[in-house]
Structure 1
Amino acid sequence: MRVHDITMPIHPDMLHWGRKPEVEVVESIEAGHASNVTRWRLGTHTGTHVDAPAHFVTGATPVDEIDLETLVGPAVVLDLTGVEGEITADHLLAAGAAGHERILLKTTNSGTSGPIHDTERAPAWVGVGPSAAEWAIEHGVRLLGIDYLTIECHTRTDTWDVHHALLPAGVIILENALLTDVEPGEYELVCLPAKLAGADGAFARTVLIER
C-alpha cells in the first residue's frame, strides 16, 4: 500500500484567495511556559478544502453533515494536462470519467511550474466549465475535485456558474488538491474536512491510497 498525501501545507506564506493564515504564539517553552501553544486564524477555504452545498445555497448541507461515504471511497485521477482554459464534458469523457463517482482532475495547474506552487493567485488557470458540471450531475458524480484554488475557470469568477450548478445538486467540490506527484489512475480517496459545525466548507487532510 502506498499513501499519497495531496494536502497543501498551511502556513502564512501559502497560496491564498483572500487573507493569508495568521499564526499567534500563545505560549512557548522558550518563553518559560510549560508547553508550546499557537492560535491560528484561517478561513474555511484555506489550502486543500471541501466546498459544502451551504457555500452557495443558504440552508443547504453544511460541511459537518456531508455524508462520509461521499468523501471516502474509490476515486479516479484523470489526466487533463492537455486542456487549456475550460474543461468540457467532452474532455471528461475522453479522459475516462464515465463510471466514476469521485473524480479528481489533474491539470497543468499542478505541473512542476504550475500556479498551485505560487504564493499569489495567478491571472489564469484551468477550471471546469458548465458542460462538464452538467455531465457530472447527470452521471451521478458525488465529488469533483481539481488542483487549484477554485474549480471555477478564471473566466467565470464573477458568475460562479459551476459552483451554482454542482452544489445545489449535492455534488461536493474538493479544491486545491496537490496532484503534482500523483499519476492518473484509480485510488481510494480519504478526504476528511474539519468538522466545523454549520460551516460552508473546511480545510481537509486528503490522501489517495494506492493498493
Structure 2
Amino acid sequence: MEIFDITLPIHPRMLHWGRKPEVEIVESVDNGDASNVTRWRLGAHTGTHVDAPAHFVNGATPIDKVSLHSLVGPAVVADLTHVTGDITPAQLEAAGLPGTWKRILLKTSNSAGPLKETERAPSWVGLSPEAAALLIEAGVELIGIDYLTIESHTLTDTWDAHHALLGAGVLILENADLDAVPAGDYELVCLPAKLVDADGSFTRAILIKRDA
C-alpha cells in the first residue's frame, strides 16, 4: 500500500488568500513551563481545505454536517497538466471525465508552479463554469484542484463555478498538492476539522494506492 499526503504544511509563511496564519507560544518548556503549548490563528480556508455549500449559499450545509461518504472513497487523479487557462468540458471528456467517478481531483500545472510559491499568482488553471455544469450533471460529489481556488482567475468577482458547484451540493477540495501523485485510481481520505456551522475547514487529505 502506498500513501500520498496531498496536504499543504501550515505555517506563517505559506501560500495564502487573505491573512497568513499566526502562531503564539503560550507555554514553553524552555521557559520553565510544564509543556509546550501554542495558539494558532488561521482561517477555515487555510492550506488544503474543503468548501462546504454554506460557503456561498446561505442556509446550506455547513462543513460539520457534510456527508463523510463524499469525503472518503474511490477517487481519480486526472492528468490535466497540459491545460492552460480554464479547464473546459471538452478537456474533461478527453481525460475520460467524469465517467462514473464521484470524487475527482484535477492535477494541473498549478502543482509544480503556483502552488509552490508563497504569494498568490496573477493567474492559474481553474475550472470553467461550463465544466462545473458537466460535473454536476454527472453526479460528482467532490471535485478537487491543486490551487487556492478552483475558480478561474478571471471570475473571482462573480465566482460562477463556486456558485454552481456548491449550489448543487458538490464539495470543493482546494490546495491539494498533487505534484508527486501519478494520475490514476486511488482511495481518498479527506477529513476536515468539525467546525460547527462553518463555511469550510482546513483538512488532512491523503490518497491511498492499494496493492494489487
TM-score range, shorter chain: over 0.9
1:81 & 1:49 partners in 2: Cα distance? 21
Q: Secondary structure at the match of 2:136?
A: helix
Q: Secondary structure at the match of 1:156?
A: coil
Structure 2 residue aligned with 1:205: 204
Counterparts of residues 82-161 of structure 1 (less than 5 Å): 82-97=82-97, 98-111=99-112, 114-161=113-160
Question: How far 1:96 sits from its partner (Å)?
Answer: 1.5
2:46 & 2:139 partners in 1: Cα distance? 27
Q: Secondary structure at the match of 1:110?
A: coil
Structure 2 unaligned blocks of 5 or more: none
Structure 1 residue aligned with 2:70: 70
TM-score, L = length of structure 1: 0.98
Q: Does 1:182 align with 2:198?
A: no
TM-score, L = length of structure 2: 0.98
Q: Secondary structure at the match of 2:110?
A: helix
2:201 & 2:13 partners in 1: Cα distance? 19
Q: Secondary structure at the match of 1:70?
A: helix
Question: How far 1:48 sits from its partner (Å)?
Answer: 0.2
1:101 & 1:89 partners in 2: Cα distance? 17
Please give the per-residue CA displacement for 1:53-76, whole angstroms capped at 9, x wherever unaligned. 000001100000000000000000
Amino acid at match of 1:186: D
Q: Secondary structure at the match of 1:57?
A: coil
Q: Secondary structure at the match of 2:167?
A: coil
Structure 1 residue aligned with 2:24: 24
CA RMSD of aligned residues (A): 0.4
Runs of 4+ in 1 over 6 A off after TM superposition: none
Amino acid at match of 1:107: T
1:188 & 1:69 partners in 2: Cα distance? 12
Structure 1 unaligned blocks of 5 or more: none
1:6 & 1:95 partners in 2: Cα distance? 21
Q: Identity over aligned residues, as a percent? A: 69
Structure 2 residue aligned with 1:45: 45
1:172 & 1:90 partners in 2: Cα distance? 22
